[in-house]
Amino acid sequence: MDILQIVANGVPAGMMYGLVALGIVLIHNGTNVVHFGYGEQITLSAYIVVVLQVIFHVPFWLACLVSIVLSALFGLAIYLGILGPLRRTPLIVQIIATLAIGLGIREGLRAFMGPDPWPFPAIVANKVYDVHGVFITTANIVVVTVSIAIAALLFLFFRLSRYGHAILAACESPRGASIVGISVKQVSAAIWVLASVLAAVAALLMAPVLTLSPDMGLIAIKGFCAAILGGFVSLPGAIVGGVLLGLIETAAGYYISTATKDMVAYGALIAMVIFMPQGLLGKRQIKKV
């Protein structure tokens, strides 16, 4: 029965990695930026809810909506104020900029909200269901359902909508897209807004489960692993990579040793990079030189 419990808990744990990976992949696909501060953006969105509730006594659901809006504006500000102007700089400069954004958010939160963890309300009251000896929580059900829904919506958006096609085109060939009238700047801004909305939604799902603290964003390390496992360019791949990582971790912890579960997970990641660099759902890219 323990194997079923490993699946029941490993899948939602992995879905959370997948949610983070979705945002990272989205930004990377749309703007070619690898956003190392994305985990902290998620944390910031959760803190916005806490601030609105504790200081301004805003009802929880309204606080969540405001957080989503503010997160979107923050993403736009990052693009317009930092990464937009840096778009022609070397990749390493952009990476350092995203690292600085993340560190700034993390230590800023520590300074202004304190280093202590904060309680964060669950969006649905948490109950535990005993399904023939396998315990399933509503929190985990919500994480899985919402993650799949978001991934599906994003997938359909990029596959079926004209705007989605425009974004993909702008990413694939910015010059070509400009020639046919697509504003690359607008597309990039839209990507940052979309990924930041996603960060806010992830925050609402993750904060009650992970415990909100300034260091909650460190989960992005696992998000990056999930993204790489999934191929780094594929949105469904991000979720699949996350789930795989969650299952590997939980199973390795149970069947091998809890002390080695991270080692096994990262070992699997290295093996993937060496033997299957395109990831699970990515495509092998061939460049003519």
Partner 1 sequence: MNLRTFLKTALAGSLALATALPAYADSTGITPTSIKIGFIGSLTGPAAIWGSGNLAGAVLAFEQQNEAGGINGRKFEWVSIDDESSAPKGIAGFNKLVQTEQVFAVIGPSASAVGVPMKSVLASSGVPVIIPSFSSPDMTEPLIKNVFRTGTLNDRMQGRAIADYLVQILKLDRVAIMRQSDQYGATGAGAITDRLKELGKAPVAVETFNASDTDLTSQVLHLRGADPQAIVIYGYPAPSAIATRQIRELGIKSEIIGSSATSNQNYPEMVGKVGIGVKFVAVGDLPESDDKPMADFRAAFQKRYPDLARQGRPATSDVTGYGAAKNVIEALRRAGKDVTRENFMAALETFDGYSSGVTMPTYLSPTRHEGNSQMRIAIITPELTREILPGAIDAK
Residue from 100, 111, 273, 276 touching partner 1 (CB under 8 A): that is 111
Task: Give CA–CA dist 167/18, Å, rounded.
Answer: 22
End-to-end CA separation in angstroms for the chain: 54
Q: Which two tokens stand for residue 120?
A: 């964060």
99 contributes a contact to partner 1 by CB under 8 A: no
Single out the residue of 138, 125, 144 nearest to residue 60, CA to CA: 125
119 contributes a contact to partner 1 by CB under 8 A: yes
Task: Give CA–CA dist 25/231, Å, rounded.
Answer: 9
**Per-position x/- string for 220-239, each x denoting binding to partner 1 as judged by CB under 8 A, each - no binding:** --x-----------------
Residue from 250, 272, 281, 282 touching partner 1 (CB under 8 A): that is 250
Task: Give CA–CA dist 242/265, Å, rounded.
Answer: 11
User: Residue 259 or 274: which CB sits closer to partner 1?
Assistant: 259
Given a contact cutoff of 8 angstroms between Cβ atoms, the answer to whether 42 and 215 are in contact is: no
Residue from 118, 192, 224, 232 touching partner 1 (CB under 8 A): that is 118
Under rule CB under 8 A, how many of the chain's residues touch partner 1?
A: 45
User: Looking only at Cα atoms, what is the longest distance across the chain?
Assistant: 60
Dihedral of alpha carbons 94, 24, 181, 288, sign: positive
16 contributes a contact to partner 1 by CB under 8 A: yes
Residue from 32, 54, 172, 186 touching partner 1 (CB under 8 A): that is 54
5 contributes a contact to partner 1 by CB under 8 A: yes
Residue 134: strand, helix, or coil: strand
- State in angstroms the smallest separation of the CB of 21 from partner 1: 14
38 contributes a contact to partner 1 by CB under 8 A: no
Residue whose token pair is 């929580």: 137
Part of the chain binding partner 1 (CB under 8 A), chosen from 76-84, 144-152, 236-244, 259-267: 259-267
Q: Rule CB under 8 A: which of 186-205 touch partner 1?
A: none
Q: Which two tokens stand for residue 171?
A: 């990413």
> In 10 A of CB 180, how many CB atoms?
10
Binding site for partner 1 (CB under 8 A): 2, 5-6, 9-10, 13, 16, 54-55, 107, 110-119, 122, 126, 128, 130, 135, 137, 209-211, 213, 215, 218-219, 222, 246, 249-254, 258-259, 261-262
